[in-house]
Structure 1
Amino acid sequence: MLLLRTPVSVRSLGTLATAAAAALILTGCSPVVDVAPAKDAANAACAPMMVALPDTIADAGLRKTNSQATAAWGDPSKVILRCGVNVPGPTTDRCVTVNGIDWVIKEGDPVWTLTTFGREPATEILMDPNQISSATVLAELAAPAGKIKATRHCVGQEDLQNLPAGK
């Protein structure tokens, strides 16, 4: 058996070592964000939304996460997104429409939970409105969230009052 060896120069080894060191340094600066996946994270309907997510929201850059159908922006994280959460049913929680996407808002202290309404699977956003504007977050995520088809819409008090009698 004949083995052919390609000579490796010291310069090539140095270049490889430098590249490896740079990769470790870059990885060390931006650790992977630990986000628990949603129950239905493997739902194929999440994929079109996930590939359409923006690289930044306000001044917060997109970071890598350790779970399927999740995303995080900012270091430390200002916005966390999970696709495949439970679809909200009828609720008295506030529902807003931003760029054609309905969101149910649960205001916490300090973290707010914003969940798409009328889309299956549902998408959840966790954010602190003291760190980033909820209007900016919802506007930036409207187009990606719209990749999941709406089957229902929010109904407000004024909609209920305008229903014909007996409905």
Structure 2
Amino acid sequence: MPSSPAARRRKAAIAATLTAAVLALTGCAPIVALDAAADSNDPGCAEISVRLPDTVADKPQRETNAQATGAWGTPTVVLLRCGVPPIGPTTKPCVSVNGIDWVLMTDPTAKSIVYQTFGRTPATEVIIDHVAGVSDSAVLPDLASAIATVKQTQKCLSTLDTDPTTSPNPGQTSPTPSPTPGL
């Protein structure tokens, strides 16, 4: 027996309500697909993961499909992966933000730039989408307390620290070059 128009409207209303509830629970944003880093199962990554902030640069955190990763913004403007291979001494620009040393791994004028922690194992990388107007100075401080849970064993040094022709005054801290204005 065919259903009445009132029954069809009720079913449609129930279906619409359930769809709205599912969308509200998922935040209307699909899960961000990322590849886990090689050492994402390191206990240090677990410490970082549980402390990732709900917002970065005023962008809400998104759900990801990979261990020890993070994503913020809709569309996504900040990505994080813990467990990437640590880097050794480098001539790439280094900046210290809230006690965390970051090495700029890409050209600072690129549309998306990559920073990686220095002197911490496991290492963490952060990718920032500059096209969306998100600045490094808004992102890196928001991640500092989570990253700080992994002990730092080495500090980034500026060229003044390693240049044998330069002799800074004893006790003087050498400046660390900033890869982008405002940092």
* Interval containing the TM-score (normalised by the shorter chain): 0.7 to 0.9
- 1:152: which partner in 2? 154
Structure 1 Cα separation of the partners of residues 160 and 66 of structure 2: 40
Instruction: Indicate the SS of the match to 1:25.
Output: helix
- 1:116: which partner in 2? 117
Structure 1 Cα separation of the partners of residues 27 and 139 of structure 2: 27
Structure 2 Cα separation of the partners of residues 69 and 101 of structure 1: 18
Task: Give the alignment of 1:53-72 within 5 angstroms.
Answer: 53-72=52-71
Structure 2 Cα separation of the partners of residues 104 and 28 of structure 1: 33
Structure 2 Cα separation of the partners of residues 28 and 50 of structure 1: 20
- 2:41 is the alignment partner of 1:45: no
Please list every run of 5 or more consecutive structure 1 residues that lacks an aligned counterpart in the other structure. 1-15
Cα drift, residue 17 of structure 1: 7.0
TM-score (norm 1): 0.82
Residues 52-61 or 68-77, more deviating: 52-61
Structure 2 Cα separation of the partners of residues 66 and 19 of structure 1: 27
Structure 2 Cα separation of the partners of residues 64 and 56 of structure 1: 12
Give the length in aligned residue pairs.
151
TM-score (norm 2): 0.75
1:91 counterpart letter in structure 2 = T
Task: Give the alignment of 1:11-22 within 5 angstroms.
Answer: 20-22=18-20
Q: CA RMSD in A?
A: 2.3
Residues 18-27 or 140-149, more deviating: 18-27
Q: Deviations over 1:37-85 (max 9, x none)?
A: 1010111111111111111112210000000000000011000000000
Match of 1:25 among 23, 26, 50: 23
- 1:142: which partner in 2? 144
Please list every run of 5 or more consecutive structure 2 residues that lacks an aligned counterpart in the other structure. 1-13, 169-183
Cα drift, residue 129 of structure 1: 2.7
- Structure 1's consecutive aligned runs of 4 or more residues displaced over 3 angstroms after TM superposition are 16-23
- 1:6: which partner in 2? none
Structure 2 Cα separation of the partners of residues 139 and 162 of structure 1: 31
Residues 80-89 or 121-130, more deviating: 121-130
- 2:123 is the alignment partner of 1:125: no
Report sequence identity in percent: 45
